[in-house]
Amino acid sequence: MKEIITYSEEETKNIAKQIAEKMGKTGIIILNGELGAGKTKFTEGFLSYFELEKEISSPTFTIINEYKNKKATIYHFDVYRLADIDEFYAIGGEEYFSKGICIIEWGEIIQEALPEHYIKIDIKKDENNLDKRILIIEEK
Ligand SMILES: Nc1ncnc2c1ncn2[C@@H]1O[C@H](COP(=O)(O)OP(=O)(O)OP(=O)(O)O)[C@@H](O)[C@H]1O
Ligand SMILES: [Mg+2]
């Protein structure tokens, strides 16, 4: 387990880029943290490492967005709106795990569908500093 403190959106994106650098063609990252914690900003940084950023749409209405080029295939999930884990199975969520890198906002909701190995990142806000975040990174 590793704890990293960031003091800006840019710093959080840079942490994401450092993690992106170490990823293979597949792999799962789950992002947990309250509304506005920085899950989507982290994802933007991650995508930018692969030059996939463009305008990232927060996938609030689509559960899964695909970003793909010659360097990588990335599936960005936001599972907040799923009623339960059965809905995740119903949309074939697990099938993406072998197709590319999967980044899953609110991943704790579908934790039991995950394979043995994944990276879990909890992002915590600080009530005294609007721009501070604590990233708790665990490799399972
Ligand atoms: N250190 C920081 N790291 C990341 N974001 C920060 C930081 N400080 C301030 N912010 C701001 O916090 C907000 C994070 O928004 P973001 O959309 O990434 O959150 P989210 O966790 O995806 O929320 P949601 O659950 O609604 O999807 C942005 O407005 C960003 O500028
Ligand atoms: Mg988000």
Residue 122 CA, distance from chain mean position:
10
Q: Taking residues 126-140, what's their average pLDDT?
A: 97
What pLDDT score does 29 carry?
A: 98
* Residue 71 confidence (pLDDT): 94
pTM value is: 0.95
> What would the mean pLDDT of 62-87 be, rounded to a whole number?
92
pLDDT at 55: 64
pLDDT of residue 62: 78
SS3 136: strand
CA 113, CA 111: separation in Å to the nearest integer? 5
Atom 16 in ligand 1: which residue has the minimum CA distance? 38
**What is the pLDDT, as a whole number, of residue 53?**
77
Mean pLDDT across the chain: 94
What is the second-level CATH architecture of the domain 2-139?
3-Layer(aba) Sandwich (3.40)
- Domain limits, the chain: 2-139
Residues contacting ligand 1 via CB (< 6 Å): 6-9, 11-12, 33, 35-41, 58, 105, 131, 133
